[in-house]
């Protein structure tokens, strides 16, 4: 592979690592970036690459939250271990709607929604929704301030919001955080629950894409995947820490405005160029 292609892969990893966790849509950004600066691989590979590169970002969550996620940690009391198992139960319940819909309609979504027009619409629409929801919740005290207060029913409803992320440009973290906030969950808990839900969802989605693509990887494709995931992992560590520090004192409206501005810029670019 030539140095320019390697630089592109590094940039793809950076984009994935930042946008996977911020509510601005990683897949949407990758699709848009491909339009400006495409990699020299087949369409089938790029369809798989957009999803599997997210494994690097998922590994960052596992590393940062390993003690929280590990129900067998020796540091935890029996009560804490039980709470961790309960948290995983809520994560699994929240993943069921998107997993079922994604398994049934994965090819249909790929065929009909992976285009810049869809990304532009979802960027702008969900940007507006973030601003509306944050203005609506101004001054309200959240009802759910820790993971133990999150019920299985709420987990299922938030999981239904995650289904919206099957449309590119929506943002998986954005749709789950938006849903959680609407149900009275605090921003930090909404973000963390979104992170944890990403683990089984992205593992399942990546496995599905790999099975569909098969094992016909070239050496260049293997290098592309590994490098992209490694960069996404390192950048995700910084992005997750930034987001958790940011939302302790600020809301998500800035991301809403970012989505609207980006959507308008992209629409003007494709319409005028």
pLDDT band for 204, please (50, 70, 90 cuts).
confident
d(CA 78, CA 75): 10
Q: Is residue 106 predicted with pLDDT exceeding 80? A: no
Domain extent for 221: 3-272
Burial status of residue 62 (CB atoms within 10 A of its CB: 0-12, 13-18, 19 or more): middle
H or E segment and range at residue 84: helix 78-113
d(CA 205, CA 124): 25
**Domain count within the chain:** 1
d(CA 130, CA 128): 5
Cβ(142)–Cβ(185) under 8 Å?
yes
Q: Tell me 174's DSSP state.
A: H
User: Tens digits of per-residue pLDDT, 38-94?
Assistant: 877 888 888 888 888 889 999 999 999 999 999 999 889 999 999 999 999 999 999
pLDDT band for 112, please (50, 70, 90 cuts).
confident
Q: What is the pLDDT of residue 156?
A: 94
User: Tens digits of per-residue pLDDT, 163-198?
Assistant: 888 888 888 888 899 899 989 999 899 999 999 998
Q: What is the mean pLDDT of the chain?
A: 88
User: Tens digits of per-residue pLDDT, 121-144?
Assistant: 999 999 999 999 889 888 788 899
Cβ(21)–Cβ(255) under 8 Å?
no
Cβ(30)–Cβ(232) under 8 Å?
no
Share of the chain above pLDDT 70, in %: 100
Cβ(147)–Cβ(169) under 8 Å?
no
pLDDT band for 1, please (50, 70, 90 cuts).
low
Q: What is the pLDDT of residue 196?
A: 94
């Amino acid at each position: 592979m030539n140095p320019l292609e390697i630089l592109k892969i590094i940039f793809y990893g950076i984009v994935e690592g930042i946008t996977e966790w911020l509510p601005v849509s990683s897949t949407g950004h990758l699709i848009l970036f491909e339009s400006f600066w495409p990699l020299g691989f087949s369409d089938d590979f790029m369809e798989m690459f957009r999803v599997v590169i997210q494994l690097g970002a998922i590994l960052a969550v596992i590393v940062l939250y390993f003690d929280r996620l590990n129900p067998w940690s020796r540091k935890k009391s029996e009560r804490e271990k039980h709470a961790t198992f309960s948290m995983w139960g809520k994560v699994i319940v929240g993943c069921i709607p998107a997993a079922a819909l994604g398994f049934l309609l994965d090819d249909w979504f790929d065929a009909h929604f992976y285009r810049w027009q869809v990304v532009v619409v979802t960027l702008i629409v969900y940007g507006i929704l973030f601003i509306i929801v944050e203005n609506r919740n101004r001054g309200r005290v959240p009802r759910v301030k820790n993971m133990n207060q999150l019920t299985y029913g709420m987990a299922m409803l938030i999981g239904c919001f995650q289904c919206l992320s099957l449309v590119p440009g929506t943002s998986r973290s954005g749709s789950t955080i938006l849903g959680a906030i609407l149900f009275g969950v605090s921003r930090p808990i909404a973000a963390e629950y979104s992170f944890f839900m990403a683990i089984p969802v992205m593992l399942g989605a990546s496995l599905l894409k790999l099975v569909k693509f098969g094992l016909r990887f070239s050496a260049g494709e293997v290098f592309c995947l590994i490098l992209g995931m490694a960069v996404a992992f390192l950048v995700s560590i910084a992005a997750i820490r930034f987001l958790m520090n940011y939302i302790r004192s600020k809301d998500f409206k800035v991301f809403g405005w970012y989505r609207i501005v980006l959507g308008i810029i992209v629409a003007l670019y494709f319409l005028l160029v």
